[in-house]
């Protein structure tokens, strides 16, 4: 019988090794897992991204009515099936979370619904984009990410960490910092510290917004060249509006032409996006 209390022993017994390519740093400290699980709604349907050796899975299973665990690593998926195969409420899904139909998976279950996971650093952004794309289908997402990344997600205008990621995430969700996790809580110990954040979707995310695609394009354009003014950074992007349209939109929004994107709050971006839309500008196709 496997000793499931230690990721190192589990991997050694199976002749497995942590794979750097997949960003595998396995949760060791059960207190971290318990704190994450405690943030999920009681009796919820939960999707766990990256089951690893099952430390978080164990904690989540104590609260969830059903738990789908996505694991891309074949060897680890086998570990999870051996460990939880007799538990009817846990379903191990061997596959890539970046390719999984997360929307279909969530829509097939009744609320409350939640997403949890220790996101690999190398693919945090594409995973986060896929998670947020389904925000209308879940009540909360509790995610462990690199600490610097968590600061960017929560950053306010005018601070060094404020970026297009900040505006993007905060447009769709309320962001709450839950706790930090040091490297000693993982095997192997990562070179960077982690933080756990909780996302809650806004109820009426695009209310008052003429063109959601234009807002997201504008935010990316505004931060594409941080040292330039907002007008110059936007004007430098492919498919940008003409100078006349951009100047008119800035004036309508009561924004100074010399302001930089990092100074704009979320509502400022919404106002400017609506002004550009009123001028007839549409977001270029991606």
Q: pLDDT for 31-89, tens place per residue?
A: 899 999 999 999 999 999 999 888 899 999 999 999 999 999 999 999 999 989 889 99
pLDDT at 21 over 80: no
pTM exceeds cut of 0.75: yes
Confidence class for position 188, pLDDT limits 50, 70, 90: low
Instruction: Give the bridge partners for 141, in sequence order.
Output: 115, 199
> Which tokens in the block code for residue 91?
């379903």
pLDDT at 84 (0 to 100): 92
Confidence class for position 1, pLDDT limits 50, 70, 90: very low
**Which segments of the chain does DSSP mark as H helices, in order?**
7-13, 30-38, 55-61, 74-84, 102-107, 124-133, 147-154, 164-172, 212-223, 230-235, 243-252, 266-278
Confidence class for position 182, pLDDT limits 50, 70, 90: confident
Confidence class for position 19, pLDDT limits 50, 70, 90: low
3-class secondary structure, 134: coil
3-class secondary structure, 172: helix
pLDDT at 12 (0 to 100): 74
Structural domains present in the chain: 7-201 (3.40.50.150), 212-278 (1.10.8.100)
> Which tokens in the block code for residue 179?
């706790």
C-alpha 205/C-alpha 103 separation (Å) is: 17
Pseudo-torsion of CA 181, 186, 188, 192, nearest 10°? -10
Residue in 172, 96, 162 with CA at minimum distance from that of residue 132: 172
Handedness of CA 66, 75, 2, 49 (dihedral sign): negative
Q: pLDDT for 211-267, tens place per residue?
A: 999 999 999 999 999 889 999 999 999 999 999 999 999 999 999 989 999 999 999
DSSP 20: G
pLDDT at 202 over 50: yes
pLDDT at 23 over 90: no
């Amino acid at each position: 019988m496997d000793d499931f209390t230690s990721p190192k022993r589990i991997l050694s017994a199976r002749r497995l090794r942590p794979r750097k390519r997949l960003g595998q740093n396995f949760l060791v400290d059960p207190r971290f897992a318990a704190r994450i699980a405690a943030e999920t709604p009681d009796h919820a349907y939960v999707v766990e991204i990256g089951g690893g050796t099952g430390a978080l899975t164990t904690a989540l299973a104590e609260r969830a009515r059903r738990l789908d665990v996505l694991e891309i690593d074949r060897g680890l998926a086998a570990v999870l099936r051996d460990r939880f195969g007799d538990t009817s409420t846990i379903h191990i899904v061997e596959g890539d979370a970046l390719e999984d139909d997360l929307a279909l998976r969530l829509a097939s279950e009744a609320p409350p619904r939640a997403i949890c996971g220790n996101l690999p650093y190398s693919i945090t952004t594409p995973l986060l984009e896929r998670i947020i794309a389904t925000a209308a289908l879940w009540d909360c997402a509790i995610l462990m990410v690199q600490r610097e990344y968590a600061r960017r997600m929560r950053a306010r205008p005018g601070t060094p960490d404020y970026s297009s990621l900040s505006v993007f995430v905060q447009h769709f969700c309320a962001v709450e910092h839950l706790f930090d996790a040091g490297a000693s809580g993982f095997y192997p110990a990562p070179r960077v510290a982690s933080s756990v954040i909780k996302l809650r979707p806004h109820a009426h995310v695009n209310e008052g917004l003429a063109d959601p695609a234009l807002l997201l394009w504008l935010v990316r354009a505004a931060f594409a060249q941080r040292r330039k003014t907002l007008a110059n950074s936007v004007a430098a992007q492919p498919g940008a509006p003409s100078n006349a349209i951009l100047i008119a939109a800035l004036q309508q929004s009561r924004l100074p032409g010399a302001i930089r994107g990092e100074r704009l709050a979320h509502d400022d971006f919404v106002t400017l996006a609506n002004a550009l839309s009123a001028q007839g500008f549409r977001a270029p196709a991606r």
